[in-house]
Amino acid sequence: MERTVRHRVKIATSTKGVITWDATVEMTSVMEEIGEVSTAFERALVLSLSDKLVAELESRYPIEKEK
C-alpha cells in the first residue's frame, strides 16, 4: 500500500487586518484491497486529517467577522 497525503494551507490578511485561512487535505493511494471497505476507510482517514487541521487552524487563527 502506497499513500501520499498533501496538506495545503493559505493564510491571508484582509485590508482591514482580519486573518482568514483556507485548508485542503488530499490523499492519493494505491491499495491492494479494492472495494467499498478501502474507499470508506480512506474517506474516513482524510476527513479525520482534515478535521484535525481545521481545529489547529481555528485555535491559531480564530475566525473574526469583518466590520
The letter for the amino acid at 41 is F
Mean pLDDT score of the chain: 80
Residue with the larger pLDDT of the pair 33 and 23: 23
Q: Which residues contact 13 (CB under 8 A, 6 or more apart)?
A: 19, 20
**C-alpha grid cell for residue 56?**
489547529
Looking at the predicted structure, is the pLDDT value of residue 38 above 80?
A: no
The predicted model scores a pTM of 0.66
pLDDT at 43: 82
Host H or E run for residue 11: strand 2-13
Q: Which residue has the higher pLDDT, 22 or 30?
A: 22
pLDDT confidence of 55, banded at 50, 70, 90? very high
